[in-house]
Amino acid sequence: MVFHFKLPDIGEGVVEGEIIKWLVSDGDSVREDQPLVEVMTDKATVEIPSPVAGKIHKRHGQEGTMVSVGAVLVEIETGNSSPSQQSETIEKVTPAHPRLPRHEMDVLATPAVRRLARERGIDLTQIKGTGPGGRITMEDLNSHRAEPKKQRVSEQTKTRSERQEELVPYRGRRRKIGERMSESKSTAPHYTYVEEVDVTELSRVRSIYNEMSGARLTYLPFIVKAVIEGLRKYPLLNSSLDEDNGVIRVKYYYNIGIATATEDGLLVPVIKNADQKSILELAKEIARLSEAAKEGKIKVEELKGSTFTITSLGSLGGLMATPIINYPEVAILGLHKIAPRPVVRDNQVVIREMMNISLSLDHRVIDGAIAAQFVAHLRTFLENPGLLALGPL
């Protein structure tokens, strides 16, 4: 009997997914719940498990192609003679922990580590993990691959010197990021407003707190709090343009997206109702979402619903940039490195901790004057962090 397994519903509003990597081949024997294929949706990558045990009769779709929800994904010979199972499908797949293959069931490792291990043909049971609880980290995987070091380095150098170009598939998250960036740039006329901010006092407050608490509080929760005060004062920046209905949707709830670099590309985890959280609560939520994104554990719902986005490269942030709007939002704030610079204060040159910010906006919705006023308001809170404890101005 051939079981026709259809691509299941893999998230609210998801109608199709891209085949990233087949984990089985035609003719392979599979057990129930064994991962068959990696599929990427708009927001997350999931491993689709087999609902039955049997032998792979035929796979449908090449890596890099799109498959609609409800379309046949793979045919499996089951030996089951019940005709009612021909078009059976599982109802929902969640992008949490991927199902683990056979002998690796007891190995602690993130989905990203497991995926890379499969690509390299590495048996994770042969690696001793150095992470918490013996978890195998990316460093453990790279160290395992690096042996024997001298011979491998020479072989790689020779290979790279002989080839003149390399073809890297443009698919998966990289293609999805490209599509979203292209949509944003082609739809919204961008312009960028740049300003410098004196964060000396903010740096001092942060340092005092870290010394007294032993914590590692970053600048980001303070900046999120200041951004919210700016959005309260100038709500047009917390909106989206609904051209179909001819309205600008101004939002009075504050879901702040934090652009996060991961091994699989850029993700934007969202702090929901950020205005209802304290600076310390924001810090905990930022850390939780960032870790989940980097370890491949982020949930689909944690990547949706942002109203305004912040992007930062931390100490690598450079002097300025022109961030691309996280469409359909109308603004995105880019943060740049904080460094001591000479500035003029009271007609004297002094050294202050300075940071540049770059605000990209959709000129269909936000005029330059509003952008300047928003940045000035934001700057006031960042240069006087004590105001953040007092509420809206």
Residues serving a catalytic function are 363
* C-alpha closest to that of 277 among 256, 298, 294: 256
Please check whether residue 87 is in contact with residue 132, taking contact to mean a CB–CB distance below 8 angstroms. no
In 3D, which of 101, 30, 13, 21 has the Cα closest to residue 5?
Answer: 30
Cis check for the bond before 323: say yes or no (omega within 30 of 0).
no
Helices (H), the chain: 111-120, 138-145, 149-162, 172-187, 200-213, 220-233, 279-294, 368-383
Is residue 8 helix, strand or coil? coil
How far apart CA 266 and CA 165 sit, in angstroms, is: 25
Could you give the CA distance from residue 310 to residue 257 in angstroms, rounded to a whole number? 6
Rounded distance between C-alpha atoms, residue 178 and residue 269, angstroms = 18
CB 264 within 8 A of CB 296: yes
**Which residue in this structure is represented by tokens 């105001």?**
387
Locate 115 and state its tokens.
């995926």
Pairing assessment for the beta strands 331-345 and 308-312 based on DSSP bridges: parallel
Residue 46 contacts residue 38 (beta carbons within 8 Å): yes
